[in-house]
Amino acid sequence: MGERTEPFKHQLEFDEQRSLYDYWRSKCRPGILPSRQALHPRDMIKFLPYITLTDVIQNDTARSFKIRLAGTGLRSVLETEITGKALDDLPFGQALPHWKQVHEKLVDDRKPLCGVTPLVWHGGDYQVLSTLAQYWLKFPLVDNNGDVSTILAYDIFTPLADLSPGLNLRTANT
């Protein structure tokens, strides 16, 4: 795993994040990122309620993202099912450009990302005022051609009052 990855790992706020990061790293080979098939749900049972798998859809002119699978814990927090929805169709409101940028950066840089933000979620014409902070962690997974085809995400939600100032987007140096 090498010393280069340690600064990223040490920035992770929770033991669960560090454990999932170690699992993802264990599936990496020198110069090769893991595929979705390299990960097994039985190895991630404790994470599954807050796991999201997002497909990266690339065409000639644009890239889009579609939620393939979202854990039941996310459905409880968000109070809606997001499986099968495009990122553009989720009710992020003004936070949508941020999430698109995160997904684009992960695909382009081919490195895990993590961050923390207040949970922003809209319903209908109104914003849901959340008292939660979302600590997120995202990993690139590749297809048979070595292209990032899936994003594995893990979210932890805590009271917004616990959010430390100065936490922001972080990238692994893998």
Contact residues for 21 (Cβ-Cβ < 8 A; gap 6+): 8, 9, 12, 112, 137, 139
What is the rounded CA–CA span in Å between residue 24 and residue 4? 15
The least confident of 1-10, 44-53, 56-65 is 1-10
53: helix, coil or strand? strand
Q: Average of pLDDT values for 142-169?
A: 83
Place of tokens 């009710």: 91
Rg of the chain over Cα atoms, rounded to whole angstroms, equals: 16
Q: Which domains does the chain have, with CATH numbers?
A: 3-171 (3.30.450.20)
- Average pLDDT value over all residues in the chain: 86
Task: Return the pLDDT at 21.
Answer: 95
* 12-42 tens-digit pLDDT: 989 999 999 999 999 999 989 999 999 999 9
> pTM here?
0.87
Buried (b) or exposed (e) across 84-94, using 16+ Cβ within 10 A?
eeebeebbbee
What is the rounded CA–CA span in Å between residue 86 and residue 168? 24
Task: Return the pLDDT at 125.
Answer: 45
Count the Cβ atoms, other than its own, within 10 Å of residue 29: 8
